Structure 1
Amino acid sequence: MNERKQGRRSAEDAEKTKQDILQKAAELFCDLGYEQVSLRNISEKAGVSHSLIRHHFGSKENIWHCISDGLHHFIARYVVVVNQHMPETYPSNIRLFEFSVRMLAYMLTFKQPVQLLADAVRQDDALVDYFISQGDGIEDFVEGLVKAHNSDFPDAQIRMWDLKWQIIMYAHAAASLTPFLKETWIDETDSLDECLLRHFRLFEEMLAAKLKIAQPYRVSPKRVQDLVYEVPAPDPAAQ
């Protein structure tokens, strides 16, 4: 019994160490860019040996892949949570609107996915291809929302890739051009949260007009973060 407990504890400790390494590596990739980060940089920031990192991951590329996988798994769970919060009685245009604004709110609050993707575009096509290839399940869900909308509103067709691009564009602009974001509303506020909210409202207003969303279904948060749902931790027993 003690040996089993010890083995379980050792496995949990090893997994925690791996997750700590991935977290520190993700921070470095976002701050410095993939090409500027070495395994030694990661080992120093994570406070573990270079050999331990090689033991767990083998290479920097594998670390990046693991981070990408983890982000996609979390986003997939977030999509499920967003869907669970949408009443089935919602018309298809409101469901598409609700999903889109909640996804942008998440991406404005948690910048790592778009930061990693933007850096990958500058660095290595193989990284971009890997990142994009992991999103098939999410893309299928969005495509279902768009198809339902287009079927119900044939005179107001929406292209999935147009909507996807707009969400990425708004998320990337806020993450990469923060000084310009603050400069835009500098005469009215010095709060980055308030600037982020105004940036979000530009998207919300545009999409609400395009999807013909009635006022009761519009969103008017005091902070962008208020629109982000909490995602429950995965159940280990279900894995």
Structure 2
Amino acid sequence: MIERKQGRRSAQDAVKTKGEILRVAANMFCTLGYERVSLRNISEQAGVSHSLIRHHFGSKEKIWYAISDCLQEFMIGYIRTIIDNMPEKLPANEKMYIFAVRLLAHMLMNKQPIQLIADAVRQEDALFDYFVDQSGEIQAVVDTIADEYNQEHPDTPIKVWEIKWQMIMYAHGAASMAPFLLQTWSEETNDIDQCLLNHWQMFNQIMAHRLQIPVEKRLTPNTVAELVYPCECAL
């Protein structure tokens, strides 16, 4: 009995250690970039030996893929949360609107996915291609909403990639150029949360106009955080 408990504790400790390594590595990849991070850097920051990291993961590339898988699963789960919380029989334009503005709000509050993707674009093609190849489930969810919208609005069809591109620009801009974000509204506030809300409102206005959302149906939060459903951190 004692041996079994010790075995369970050992297994739990190993899982905890692997999780901490991934958390530290994710922060380093996002802030420094993949090329500037080494296994030794990760081991020093995580407080574990270089050999232990190699035992658990084998290489820096495998750590990156493990982080990407976690974030991918996290984003898929969150997208499904947005869909599941939509009222039944909602018109397609309102579905697409709620999906886009709530997902951007989440990306503004949880920067790691967009930071990792942006860094992958700067690296070898294999890293970026990994995101594209792994995004089929997300794409299917978005395409379903877009197809429904285009069937209901054949005279003003939407292109999914245009909306995704706008979302990527707004998310990445806030994540990578925070000083400019603060400077933009420096005359009225020095509160980063208010600046994020102003930033989100710009996207909100674009989506509301593009998707023909009546004023009374548009979201009017006091903070971006209000739009984010409770969820566990990816790492």
TM-score by structure 2 length?
0.96
Task: Report the Cα distance in structure 1 between the residues aligned to 2:86 and 2:110, rounded to whole angstroms.
Answer: 22
Preserved contact between residue 194 and residue 223 of structure 1 (Cα < 8 Å): yes
Q: Which residue matches 1:62?
A: 62
Percent identity between the two aligned chains: 54
Q: Which residue matches 2:192?
A: 192
Q: Which residue matches 1:163?
A: 163
Higher RCO (CA 8 Å, separation ≥ 6 residues):
2
Deviations along 1:103-136, one digit per CA (max 9) or x if unpaired, are 1001100111111111111122111111222211
- The letter for the 2-side match of 1:100 is A
- The letter for the 1-side match of 2:201 is R
Task: Report the Cα distance in structure 2 between the residues aligned to 1:45 and 1:212, rounded to whole angstroms.
Answer: 49
Task: Report the Cα distance in structure 1 between the residues aligned to 2:91 and 2:50, rounded to whole angstroms.
Answer: 54
For residues 191 and 26 of structure 1, do their structure 2 counterparts lie closer, same or farther at Cα, with a shift above 3 Å needed?
A: same
Mean Cα deviation higher: 75-84 or 225-234: 225-234
Deviations along 1:188-218, one digit per CA (max 9) or x if unpaired, are 1111111111010000001001101122321
Task: Report the Cα distance in structure 1 between the residues aligned to 2:76 and 2:12, rounded to whole angstroms.
Answer: 24
Preserved contact between residue 43 and residue 53 of structure 1 (Cα < 8 Å): yes
Task: Report the Cα distance in structure 2 between the residues aligned to 1:38 and 1:88, rounded to whole angstroms.
Answer: 49
Q: Which residue matches 1:18?
A: 18
Q: For 1:101-140, what aligned pairs fall within 5 Å after superposition?
A: 101-140=101-140
Deviations along 1:62-84, one digit per CA (max 9) or x if unpaired, are 00000000001011111111111
Q: Which residue matches 1:33?
A: 33
- The letter for the 1-side match of 2:149 is H
Task: Report the Cα distance in structure 2 between the residues aligned to 1:230 and 1:131, rounded to whole angstroms.
Answer: 25
Q: Which residue matches 1:76?
A: 76
- The letter for the 2-side match of 1:60 is K
Preserved contact between residue 39 and residue 53 of structure 1 (Cα < 8 Å): yes
- SS of 1:190's partner is coil
Task: Report the Cα distance in structure 2 between the residues aligned to 1:128 and 1:218, rounded to whole angstroms.
Answer: 34
TM-score by structure 1 length?
0.94
Deviations along 1:17-46, one digit per CA (max 9) or x if unpaired, are 111100000111111111010000000100
Identify unmatched segments of 5+ residues in structure 2.
none
Q: What's the CA shift for 1:233? A: 8.4
Q: What's the CA shift for 1:162? A: 0.6
- The letter for the 2-side match of 1:89 is K
Task: Report the Cα distance in structure 1 between the residues aligned to 2:217 and 2:72, rounded to whole angstroms.
Answer: 28
For residues 233 and 36 of structure 1, do their structure 2 counterparts lie closer, same or farther at Cα, with a shift above 3 Å needed?
A: closer
Q: What's the CA shift for 1:51? A: 0.3
Q: Which runs of 4+ in 1 moved over 4 A?
A: none
Q: What's the CA shift for 1:7? A: 2.2
Task: Report the Cα distance in structure 1 between the residues aligned to 2:131 and 2:16, rounded to whole angstroms.
Answer: 24
Q: Please report the RMSD computed on the Cα atoms of aligned residues, expressed in angstroms.
A: 1.4
Aligned residues: 234
Task: Report the Cα distance in structure 2 between the residues aligned to 1:109 and 1:67, rounded to whole angstroms.
Answer: 18
